[in-house]
Structure 1
Amino acid sequence: MTSEPRILPLPDSGAHLVIGADGRPRIRLRTGRFVLVDAPRVALVEALASGADGERSTALDRLTLEVQGRETVDALRRWPEERRDVCLLGTGPLVDELERVLAAWGARVAVLDPEAAPSEHAALVVAYAEDAPGCRRWAELDQLPERGTAWLRVHREGEVVLIDPLALYPSDPTSVQVAARRVAASSAPASAEAWQQAGPLISGALDDATRALVLARLLHMILAWARDDAELDRLRTTLWKLVPAIGSVSEHTVLPFPAAPRRVLR
């Protein structure tokens, strides 16, 4: 004999009690996993169905505490405590939205003026520049990995948006090296170099689709860093490029090259 399927939310959590045709109570966790419940089905259903005004059962209280404990562990897996301090350098809607989504997923985010000194407590610094002058300070900030701070850069060239490789170690490609590699690979190197050295350019705001794609890529890279995923090795040598005019999204390998000694960032 089969039972009537039921799905009831578990209070104070993102989980649900699910009773399928087999009549066995299981908890569907926020991760999508189903866990068999060792508790009386009828008592659980009655306690959940009675709502906030009903009498909570001891079994329901124990179950809620156990699920909350699992959710806390899951949150730490998504964003470990030692990597929660993120510093954003820049202004504008993209920076505002990045702050919002990172905070929603557990980061402690500080947004600073592009010319400000990053917090010494930051585990990751993300800089956004609207034009070439906004990138010129990056040569100094390229030294951040030398003190153990991850370093990520996103910038516009007119309507084109580029996200540099994620720098974790002093040996990773710097902003200077990425720029030099791009000039060398250009079919018009003199023009490419002139563009990189140009003054402020008047560019319109990023459209919604462009902003969504850039935000998704940034979040993907930052989460990979936070979780220390295996994909980090590839992200450390990958330049991401979005050309909204033709809807093109591409990736380009960028390798570091020997550089002259630099002074240590303090």
Structure 2
Amino acid sequence: MRQRDAAAPPRLRPGCSVFTVDGRGAVLRDAAGAMFDIALPGNELAAVRSALAGENGVEPEALAAFRQAGHLGARATWPAERARVVVLAREDAPFCEALRRAGADPVVVPATSTAADILACDPAAVCAWSDGPAPSAWRELDVLVDHGVAWQRASREGRHVLVEPVAGEVRHRDVVARRLAAAGSGHRHLAEFWAQHDTGEALHGDEDADPSDLALVAALLVNDLRAWALGSRSGESAFHPLPLPVDRRLRVVDLDTGAISDHPVLPVPASAP
């Protein structure tokens, strides 16, 4: 055994658990949800449990295997160098509060801000929300990516919210082009829907996002931005073996049912028609 730093006791990684099963002994649930038997003699297991519970200052040798396998560690926090997030939304939208709680440093600017206005805030990322179809001006903000800024967009079409990839490579214009192509013969309808919303000609029902809708959207956007900030791309687990990374995924959320569907999306090559 070795003496450990009293200021940094070993802790199970968030999502990991150690428990016992009658007739089987101790079991480890890892952060991805998989279960493993722990093949340790009783005295060594007791020492491991004691160390993980912070009950002594001696770290047993058996704990090294937990560390090497990635089962120990503190909860990851939002990196300071990626904390400044410019928010394009109304002042009373819940995005800033959600970002602050997650560890970011949000700054609200008018939704009509230009790329130059936004870059003057020195952001690491930009989070844009439209309570309606995505404004055409977002295509002009794709240039933010060329300045090393993560560019996140979410918009509402009817009672569905579209959460676009955190760019990265897949910019807003790529999402627009891919959606028009996927619409097939209906691409003119989709294009006119967007255009006439922009001009105010389209008529809509009572479909604006209410506070509970916005809370859901804010949670999803902050989760994606935090994954970007922490450099987490895959998120594979026993529950979701093949998730799409946040920079290659168009997420559609049904605000009335809570149903979520994820769709892969790739950049449109420069040579594409």
TM interval, shorter chain, is: 0.5 to 0.7
By relative contact order (CA 8 Å, sep 6+), the higher-ranking structure is 2
The two structures have a TM-score, normalised by structure 1, of 0.64
**Which of 183, 206, 231 is the aligned partner of 1:186?**
183
Pair 1:258-2:269 in alignment:
yes
Aligned to 1:195: 193
Aligned to 2:149: 149
Residues 113-140 of structure 1: CA distance to partner in whole angstroms, max 9, x if unpaired?
A: 01122144100001111234x5211111
Q: Which has the higher helix share?
A: 1
Pair 1:248-2:247 in alignment:
no
Distance between the aligned counterparts of 2:155 and 2:189, measured in 1?
18
Distance between the aligned counterparts of 1:27 and 1:104, measured in 2?
32
Distance between the aligned counterparts of 2:175 and 2:129, measured in 1?
15
Q: How does 1:40-119 map to 2 (within 5 A)?
A: 77-91=76-90, 93=92, 96-116=93-113, 117-119=117-119
Instruction: Say which one has the larger Rg.
Output: 1
Q: CA deviation at 1:152?
A: 0.2
Residues 60-79 of structure 1: CA distance to partner in whole angstroms, max 9, x if unpaired?
A: xxxxxxxxxxxxx957x311
Aligned to 1:215: 218
Distance between the aligned counterparts of 2:88 and 2:214, measured in 1?
17
Matched-pair contact (CA < 8 Å) for 1:87–1:112: yes
**Which of 238, 246, 252 is the aligned partner of 1:235?**
246
Deviant stretches of 4+, over 2 Å? 33-39, 199-205, 207-213, 230-233, 243-248
* Paired residue secondary structure (1:235): coil
Q: Structure 1 residues 34 and 230, CA, compared in 2 at 3 Å: closer, same or farther?
A: farther
Gaps of 5+ in 1: 1-23, 40-72, 261-266
Distance between the aligned counterparts of 1:213 and 1:131, measured in 2?
16
Alignment RMSD: 3.1
Matched-pair contact (CA < 8 Å) for 1:139–1:175: yes
Distance between the aligned counterparts of 2:257 and 2:83, measured in 1?
36
Distance between the aligned counterparts of 2:258 and 2:102, measured in 1?
29
The two structures have a TM-score, normalised by structure 2, of 0.62
Gaps of 5+ in 2: 1-46, 59-72, 236-243
Matched-pair contact (CA < 8 Å) for 1:224–1:231: no
Q: Structure 1 residues 113 and 189, CA, compared in 2 at 3 Å: closer, same or farther?
A: same
